[in-house]
A and B are shown apart, each in its own frame.
Chain A
C-alpha cells in the first residue's frame, strides 16, 4: 500500500516535470529563439493557454504528498522554508508575466514582461534542479525528523550541508540543460517559421550536451549517494527505468536529427520519466535521507499516513486520475498542431 502511494507520488511529480518542463524550457529560451517581438509572441502562444493546466499538476502533487505522507511533507516543507517560497514567488511572477504581457500592445511593456518571463523560468529550472539534487543528497535530519538548511555551508555533501553545494549546483545546471532541450524540442514540434528553425537547431546541439552531462551527473551521484545505484541492482523496475532513459535519450537525439519532431518530444518525455523513476526506485524506501546519521532518515514507512487514510486515498485516486487523463486527452486534442501567433495567441 505504501509502495503504491509512493509510486503515485512519483507519477504525479513526473507528470508535472514533463508538462511544465516544456514551459520552463521554452521560457528560458524565450530570448534565444524569439529575437523579435513577433517571434516571442509565437513562443508565448505555444505555452500561454497551457501553463495553468500544467501548473495544476504541482498542486495535485502537493495534495497527494499531504494525503500519503503528511509527516514527510511537514519535515521537508518546513526545512526548505525559504527555498520553497522562492520557488512559489517565481511561479507567481512567471504566471503574471504570461497574463500581463498580452494585454497591452506596447513594445516596452512586452519587453519588460518577456524579461520577467525568461528570468523566472530560468530561476525555476535552477531551483527545481537544486531541489531534486537536495532530495538525492539528503538533509541534516535529527532524530525527530526535523531539519533546517542554510542556503550554503561549505559546499560539501556530508554532515551539516546547505541547499547549495557542488553536487546540487551541478544538478541545477544539468536540469537547465535538460529543460532547455526538452523545451526546444517542444517548440520545434509546435511552431513554424523562424522560431521553429532556431528551436530545431538549438535542440540538435542541446541533446548531445544533455546526454554527456547526464553521464557526468551519474558518476557524481554514485559518489554522493552510492545506495541509489546499489539499490537498483536487485530491482527490475530500475532496469526498466534505465532502459527508458537510454531509449528516450536516443529517440530525442535521433528524432531531432531526422526531423521526426513528435518522436523527439516523446523521447524527451520518456527520458525525464525514466530518470525520475530510476531515482525513485533506487532510493526507495528512504524519502528524506539524513546526512548526519543514516538511522535518522525518514522512510516511506515511517512518514506515511495511517492505514485507513491510505486505503481510502488509494480508492478514490484512480477515479480522479482517470478523469484527469480524460481532461489531458481533451486538452491535448484541443491544442494539437502547430500554433500561429495571429490566431492561436488567445490574447497572450
Chain B
C-alpha cells in the first residue's frame, strides 16, 4: 500500500484479467470453428455445420463482451498510465493502433456474418467469414503480445535526448524474439481453454443423454484439440518461454521458483511456501538439478537466486508470483493427464460410458481460465518492479495528475459493472446451452 501506483495497478490488473477471460475463449474457439466449417464444406455432413452454428453463437456472445471490456484497456494507457504513454508511446502506439486497424476491423466486420449469415452468404463465403474471424482474432493477439513483449524485453528502441524512447527499428520491435515465444505459448493456452470448453459441453450433453451425435463430436474435437494444446503449451512453447525468462529476467525466475540463494544443481520445488522475510522456502518437496536443466540444459548449471540481484530489482510480490507459477504449472500437468485419459477412452470407444471421466471433463472447464490467469500473473508480476524491463519503473508510469481517489472510484465502478456483465454472460451462456445445438441456419 506504500506503492503510489497501487490503485492504478489494481485497476489495470482487474480490468485486464476480466477482459482476457473472453478473448482467450474466442481465440481458442476460432480454429475449431474453421475446422468444423471446413469439414462441413468438404463432407456435406450436417453435424459439423450444426456444431459450427452452435459455437458461433457462443463465439458472438463472448466476442461482444470482449469488445465492451476491451475498449477501457486501450483508454487506460492514457488515463492511468500517461507517464508510460509519453515515455514509450512512439513504440507501443504502433502495435496498439495496428491491432485496431488490421485485426479488430476484420474481426468485427465479419463476426455478424459468421453468426447469422450462413444462408445469405452461401457455404463457401461463410467458410471464408470463419477464416477471417479466426485470422483477425489471432492477429489481434499477436499485436497485443508484441506490445507486452516490449515491456518484458525491450527491443528496437533508442533513447532520445529528452529521455523518451524512440523507434530505432521496426523489424527489431515487431520481430522481438520474446513476442514469438510468448505468442506461441499464449495461443496454445487459449486453445487449451477452447478445447476444454468444447469437451465440457460435450460431456454435459453426454451425461444428460441429450444431442448424442453433437455430444460425440464435441468430445472428439474438444479432446483432440485439448490434448494437443495441453502438450504444446508445456513443450516446446512453455519451455522456450521459461528459458527466455531465465536468460533475461533472472530475478523473476528466482522468485517464481522461490529460490532465495544461488548455487548449482538448482532444484524444482513441486510444493512449498516462500517465506520472504526469512529468505527460505518452507515445507518444500524438491527435485534436485531439474531447474538447472530446464533453464540452461545442464543439471550442473548455476541458477542465480534472489541473493544474486540487488533488492530493488526483485519482483514486488514474490509470494503471489511463486504461487501463480506453481498453480499454472500444476494445472498444466493435470490437463495433459486428463486429456490423455480422455483420448485413450475415446480411441477405445468407451468414453460415453465412463461417467466419472465425463464428470471430470465437465468440471474441468473453469481451470484453463485459472491457468491462463495465473500464467499472465506470472508474466506481469515477474516483470515488476519494471514497467519496461530494465528501463522504466512502474511507479514512473502513472498519470501524475490523477489522484488515487478518482482511481478507487473508477475501480469500484468497474467491479460493479463487470459483476452485472458477468451475471448476464453466464445466464445467456446457460440459455444457449439449454437450447442446444439444434438450430437450422438463420435466414
A residues with a Cβ closer than 8 A to B are 49-50, 52-53, 55-56, 58-60, 62-64, 66-68, 70-71, 73-82, 84-85, 88-89, 91-93, 95-96, 99-100, 103-104, 146-148, 305-306, 308-309, 312-313, 316-317, 320-321, 323-324, 327-328, 330-331, 334, 343, 346-347
**Besides the known contacts A81-B406, A313-B94, 6 further A-B residue pairs in the complex with CB atoms under 8 A apart:** A52-B112, A81-B401, A91-B68, A92-B417, A99-B65, A309-B90
A88 touches B112 (CB 8 A): no
Residues of A within 8 A of B442 (CB): 346-347
**14 residue pairs from A and B, CB less than 8 Å apart:** A53-B112, A59-B70, A60-B101, A73-B89, A74-B85, A77-B82, A81-B401, A92-B421, A96-B65, A309-B90, A316-B101, A334-B112, A347-B57, A347-B442
Nearest-neighbour CB distance to chain B for A321, whole angstroms, equals 7
Chain B residue nearest to A76 in the complex (CB): B78
Chain A residue nearest to B170 in the complex (CB): A312
Residues of B within 8 A of A146 (CB): 400-401
Nearest-neighbour CB distance to chain A for B432, whole angstroms, equals 9
B410 touches A74 (CB 8 A): no
Per a CB cutoff under 8 Å, which of B64, B99, B116 touches A95?
A: B64
B89 touches A74 (CB 8 A): yes
Chain B residue nearest to A316 in the complex (CB): B98
Per a CB cutoff under 8 Å, which of A68, A103, A334 touches B113?
A: A334
Residues of A within 8 A of B112 (CB): 49-50, 52-53, 331, 334, 346
Decide: A85 near B67, CB < 8 A? Known: A77-B75, A321-B101, A346-B112.
no
> With an 8 A cutoff between CB atoms, is B436 at the interface?
no
Q: Chain B CB within 10 Å — which of A88, A148, A347 has the most?
A: A88
Chain A residue nearest to B113 in the complex (CB): A334
Residues of B within 8 A of A308 (CB): 166-168
Per a CB cutoff under 8 Å, which of A66, A93, A147 touches B401?
A: A147
Chain B residue nearest to A52 in the complex (CB): B108
The list of the 6 closest CB pairs from A to B, nearest first, reads: A70-B89, A77-B78, A63-B97, A327-B109, A320-B101, A67-B93
Nearest-neighbour CB distance to chain A for B90, whole angstroms, equals 4
> With an 8 A cutoff between CB atoms, is B311 at the interface?
no
Decide: A60 near B401, CB < 8 A? Known: A52-B108, A91-B68.
no
B402 touches A78 (CB 8 A): yes
A70 touches B86 (CB 8 A): yes
Interface bracket on B: 35 or more
Nearest-neighbour CB distance to chain B for A161, whole angstroms, equals 15
Decide: A92 near B109, CB < 8 A? Known: A60-B100, A62-B75, A100-B428.
no
Q: Chain A CB within 10 Å — which of B83, B401, B420 has the most?
A: B401
> With an 8 A cutoff between CB atoms, is B3 at the interface?
no
Nearest-neighbour CB distance to chain B for A196, whole angstroms, equals 21
A305 touches B90 (CB 8 A): yes
Interface of chain A: mostly helix, strand, loop or mixed: helix
A81 touches B399 (CB 8 A): yes
Nearest-neighbour CB distance to chain A for B169, whole angstroms, equals 9
Residues of B within 8 A of A56 (CB): 67, 100, 104-105, 108
B89 touches A71 (CB 8 A): yes
A92 touches B68 (CB 8 A): yes
Residues of A within 8 A of B61 (CB): 99
Give A79 to B79 CA distance when docked, in angstroms.
Answer: 8
Give A104 to B167 CA distance when docked, in angstroms.
Answer: 51
Decide: A306 near B109, CB < 8 A? Known: A63-B101, A78-B79, A347-B116.
no
Decide: A324 near B94, CB < 8 A? Known: A52-B64, A103-B431.
no
Contact with A along B90-126 (1 / 0, CB 8 A): 1111101111111011101111110111001000000
B residues with a Cβ closer than 8 A to A are 57, 61, 63-65, 67-72, 74-75, 77-80, 82-83, 85-86, 89-94, 96-102, 104-106, 108-113, 115-117, 120, 160, 166-168, 170, 399-402, 406, 409-410, 413, 417, 420-421, 424, 428, 431, 442-443
Chain B residue nearest to A320 in the complex (CB): B101
Residues of A within 8 A of B420 (CB): 96
A327 touches B105 (CB 8 A): yes
Give A52 to B98 CA distance when docked, in angstroms.
Answer: 18
Give A79 to B69 CA distance when docked, in angstroms.
Answer: 22
Residues of B within 8 A of A73 (CB): 77-78, 85, 89
Nearest-neighbour CB distance to chain B for A93, whole angstroms, equals 7
Nearest-neighbour CB distance to chain B for A1, whole angstroms, equals 14
Chain A residue nearest to B143 in the complex (CB): A63
B109 touches A78 (CB 8 A): no
Give A58 to B73 CA distance when docked, in angstroms.
Answer: 13
Q: Chain A CB within 10 Å — which of B57, B92, B101, B106 has the most?
A: B101
A82 touches B78 (CB 8 A): no
Residues of B within 8 A of A100 (CB): 424, 428
Chain B residue nearest to A92 in the complex (CB): B68
Give A103 to B160 CA distance when docked, in angstroms.
Answer: 54
Decide: A84 near B401, CB < 8 A? Known: A52-B108, A321-B101.
no
Chain A residue nearest to B74 in the complex (CB): A62
B108 touches A60 (CB 8 A): no
Q: Chain B CB within 10 Å — which of A58, A64, A96 has the most?
A: A96
B93 touches A78 (CB 8 A): no
Give A50 to B183 CA distance when docked, in angstroms.
Answer: 30
Residues of A within 8 A of B421 (CB): 92, 96
Give A147 to B401 CA distance when docked, in angstroms.
Answer: 7
Decide: A309 near B82, CB < 8 A? Known: A60-B104, A103-B428, A103-B431.
no
Nearest-neighbour CB distance to chain B for A323, whole angstroms, equals 7
Per a CB cutoff under 8 Å, which of A60, A96, A148, A346 touches B105?
A: A60
Give A107 to B17 CA distance when docked, in angstroms.
Answer: 35
A309 touches B101 (CB 8 A): no
Residues of B within 8 A of A327 (CB): 105-106, 109-110
Give A101 to B280 CA distance when docked, in angstroms.
Answer: 55
Nearest-neighbour CB distance to chain B for A163, whole angstroms, equals 13
Chain B residue nearest to A328 in the complex (CB): B109
Nearest-neighbour CB distance to chain B for A334, whole angstroms, equals 6
Q: Chain B CB within 10 Å — which of A74, A104, A312 has the most?
A: A74
Residues of A within 8 A of B93 (CB): 63, 66-68, 70, 305, 309, 313
Residues of B within 8 A of A95 (CB): 64, 67-68
B116 touches A88 (CB 8 A): no
A93 touches B417 (CB 8 A): yes
Nearest-neighbour CB distance to chain B for A108, whole angstroms, equals 15
Q: Chain B CB within 10 Å — which of A148, A321, A334 has the most?
A: A334
Give A273 to B10 CA distance when docked, in angstroms.
Answer: 40
Nearest-neighbour CB distance to chain B for A85, whole angstroms, equals 5
B96 touches A63 (CB 8 A): yes
Decide: A82 near B410, CB < 8 A? Known: A93-B417, A305-B93.
yes
Give A331 to B117 CA distance when docked, in angstroms.
Answer: 11
Chain B residue nearest to A327 in the complex (CB): B109
B106 touches A323 (CB 8 A): yes
Residues of A within 8 A of B166 (CB): 306, 308-309
Residues of B within 8 A of A88 (CB): 71-72, 75
B96 touches A85 (CB 8 A): no
Nearest-neighbour CB distance to chain B for A230, whole angstroms, equals 31
Decide: A148 near B401, CB < 8 A? Known: A82-B410, A88-B75, A306-B167.
yes
Give A55 to B64 CA distance when docked, in angstroms.
Answer: 11
